[in-house]
Chains A and B, each alone.
Chain A
Amino acid sequence: MIQALVSVGLVAGSALAVATFPRSVLVFLLFQGSLLFVYRARIPERLRWALLAAALLVLMPVIGYFNSYYLEVATQVGIFVALALGLNIVVGLAGLLDLGYVAFFAVGAYSWAIVGSPHANIIFGGGFPLAGWWFYVFLLVGLAVAATTGILLGLPVLRLHGDYLAIVTLGFGEVIRVLANNLDKPINFTNGPKGITPISRPPTPFGLPYGEYFYFLALLIVVAVVVVNRRLEDSHIGRAWEAIREDELAARAMGVPLVRMKLMAFACGASFAGVMGVLFSAKQIFINPESFTFLESIGVLAMVILGGMGSIPGAIVGATVVTVLNLQVLKGFSLWLNELKNAGVTVLGYSLADLPTQFEPAKYERMVFGIILVLMMIFRPQGIFPARRRQRELGG
């Protein structure tokens, strides 16, 4: 009862606070924290889902109406949640360490970017860009293309295990990026490092602004991905994946079809990234190979590991924390430091104005990923929210 009251109070209070201080990062973090509390609190299920739905469907767009940057952050979080959930299938459930995951995101993004922009005229003659409604078709095409790429990658590497597999997937990710960078000749497919722009966007229903539209679309896809993930986890496929992760030999002896299951893991994981890639390219209007570097793959891996490998709530929390850390905390810290510098503040006799200009905290996301990975591996390899089944296996 107390927890129920606290939950309602927290969500309402933090929403009110965000409305009052629309520019404060701390207040926005409080709002996100209240969602986590609601998710974990011992309250009636109906109240829990009503609160979460109210926060995500009503409060968030309202906040976004006052400060569109927060909506942008929320949309980014949605994109990365879907990516983390996809990678969670490959790494968390099936135990196949994929270090080139962002390649599938790139494949999805380029599939819409090419035909959704005038760029395709160079390849196919006239008639492009396709009309906006094709975007919805391409959400599925992106899914299919990425899943096919996943199978194509999976086929040759099926025999590899553990760290060899990791290195090969890393190489594959680099190959896709190098291709995106250089396939502007002999036939111009990707326009090389200059990237593709302008990418068309679909017409929005009910005259929604694009910020809100992409937020709702991302949310919808995330919900779909979560549902698919939940169903997979408890199906015989999910159990087969976990069996492969725990002991490949024993799984094979029990009649788990290794080849089919591994390929399915790659295809499923890749397909989520493909869908989000299509959304990403339409949202950004412009894409180039810079968005699909190894850094992004490791970022998504850090999200999965922080939350807990194989755990769905873990992947969601991990993606949220890491994205918010990158987009808000580090950037906020940079801005704050700059303000202090310009104000000529001194700390312990050291004038902050003397700080070297090359020192920009916002550029240090690699360090954040690195620290997360090392600390989690040493102190809590099961993650913040360990997967339920794994918890039961290990006896708590």
Chain B
Amino acid sequence: MDVELLIGIFPQVLLDGIILGFMYALIALGYTMVYGVLEFINFAHSEIFIVGAFVGVEVMLGLKSVGLLEGLPWPVVLILVLLAGMAGSGLLAITVERVAYRPLRNAPRLIPLISAIGISFFLQDMIRLFESLWRNAFNLVYPTIDVLNLRFELTETLDVSVKSLVVIVGALLMLWALHLIVNRTKVGTAIRAVAEDQAAASLMGIDVNRIISLTFLIGGAMGGAAGVLFGVQYGLINPYSGFIPGLKAFTAAVLGGIGNIPGAMVGGLVLGLLEAFAASYLSLLTGGAFGAEYKDILAFSLLILILIFRPKGLLGEVVRERA
């Protein structure tokens, strides 16, 4: 075994893991916030995430067609695209809640979950239908901005591209903003109150429906931001590419303790790192017998193990069972 190689690639793998981890963390927030207030898995969140990526690519292609992609300074372009992706995903999340979840709020537990699965499938094909009619293609590529592809060589074996830095900084800003909203504002207090006890919150004069919509808006916007960052980082998107990251992000949310916001961040990072290391080291350590393909199995096995042995997740939020 080539120990030097194993050590040599370590920093690069660590960096890749952190980027992936922040992406998962941003998506996981959507799952965890909705679970916090409604105790229900918003299965369609993976599509809300990928819709953000599609809104982003449409805005970028639109800017490109009028020549502004090169004309505007690149941070402005990025902020525009991010805001558009967040708005698109957030509004979609509210609409989905209004149409498919609210009528089922008092139904038995499995009913809204099945409805959410239906919405997820419906949205995948809706994106495909729309892009097929509009662009005659549903596998889209993010237009490149040259600055983003610049790479800095930090050491001999480690280099960082500008877009990776953008992803990390963007994700950190989002997480910080969310932290402020939830913990320092009146609205955030209301969200926490609804999560704690809906009936009591409504007795205190909180409009529960409005807060639930708001939760979907914030969770959706985080997902949309993650979608744009995903597109910027990996380039190629299609209507079905939200599914696996969504499932992984859900795993991250459970890993950190579902319903727990810091937990989602920690869970995302842990899962991202684990996957990056599995992807690079598995085939090296097993002499090529098991390759990077097994990282998905690793993630799902991890999910099963946590649910069996530590259903509260790493940060120990108590998971309530609704009858």
Interface residues in chain A, defined as those with a beta carbon under 8 Å from any beta carbon in chain B: 95, 97, 99, 156-157, 159-164, 166-168, 170-172, 174-175, 178-179, 181-182, 185-186, 294, 298, 301, 305, 356-359, 363-364, 366-367, 369-374, 377-378, 381
* Contact (Cβ within 8 A) A301 B297: no
Given known contacts A175-B301, A378-B104, A163 and B129 CB-to-CB distance under 8 angstroms = no
Tell me whether B180 is interfacial, beta carbon within 8 Å: no
* Contact (Cβ within 8 A) B297 A367: no
* Contact (Cβ within 8 A) A182 B294: yes
Tell me whether B114 is interfacial, beta carbon within 8 Å: yes
User: For the complex, what is the distance from the CA of A163 to the CA of B110, rounded to whole Å?
Assistant: 7
* Contact (Cβ within 8 A) B110 A181: no
Given known contacts A167-B250, A186-B289, A374 and B297 CB-to-CB distance under 8 angstroms = no
Summarize B's interface: helix, strand, loop or mixed: helix
User: For the complex, what is the distance from the CA of A378 to the CA of B116, rounded to whole Å?
Assistant: 11
Given known contacts A161-B321, A370-B122, A171 and B303 CB-to-CB distance under 8 angstroms = yes
* Contact (Cβ within 8 A) B296 A174: yes
Tell me whether B100 is interfacial, beta carbon within 8 Å: yes
Stretch at the interface among B66-74, B130-138, B150-158, B192-200: B130-138
Contact pattern, B 113-127, Cβ under 8 Å of A = 1, otherwise 0 = 111011111111110
Tell me whether B304 is interfacial, beta carbon within 8 Å: yes
User: For the complex, what is the distance from the CA of A335 to the CA of B291, rounded to whole Å?
Assistant: 42
| 26 A-B residue pairs with CB within 8 Å | A95-B110, A156-B304, A160-B311, A166-B113, A171-B251, A171-B303, A181-B293, A182-B293, A298-B117, A358-B131, A358-B137, A359-B132, A366-B122, A366-B125, A367-B121, A367-B129, A370-B123, A370-B125, A373-B117, A374-B119, A377-B100, A377-B107, A377-B112, A378-B103, A378-B115, A381-B111
CB-based nearest A residue for B134: A356
B60 to chain A, nearest CB (A): 20
* Contact (Cβ within 8 A) B308 A178: no
CB-based nearest A residue for B123: A370
Interface residues in chain B, defined as those with a beta carbon under 8 Å from any beta carbon in chain A: 40-41, 100, 103-104, 107, 109-115, 117-126, 128-129, 131-133, 136-138, 243, 247, 250-251, 254, 288-291, 293-294, 296-297, 300-301, 303-304, 307-308, 311, 321
A-B contact count, CB below 8 Å?
Answer: 134
**Residues of B contacting A167 in the complex (Cβ-Cβ under 8 angstroms):** 41, 247, 250, 254, 303
**Residues of A contacting B131 in the complex (Cβ-Cβ under 8 angstroms):** 358
**Residues of A contacting B290 in the complex (Cβ-Cβ under 8 angstroms):** 186
**Residues of A contacting B288 in the complex (Cβ-Cβ under 8 angstroms):** 185
CB-based nearest A residue for B321: A161
User: For the complex, what is the distance from the CA of A369 to the CA of B129, rounded to whole Å?
Assistant: 15
* Contact (Cβ within 8 A) A377 B122: no
* Contact (Cβ within 8 A) A171 B122: no
User: For the complex, what is the distance from the CA of A370 to the CA of B294, rounded to whole Å?
Assistant: 29
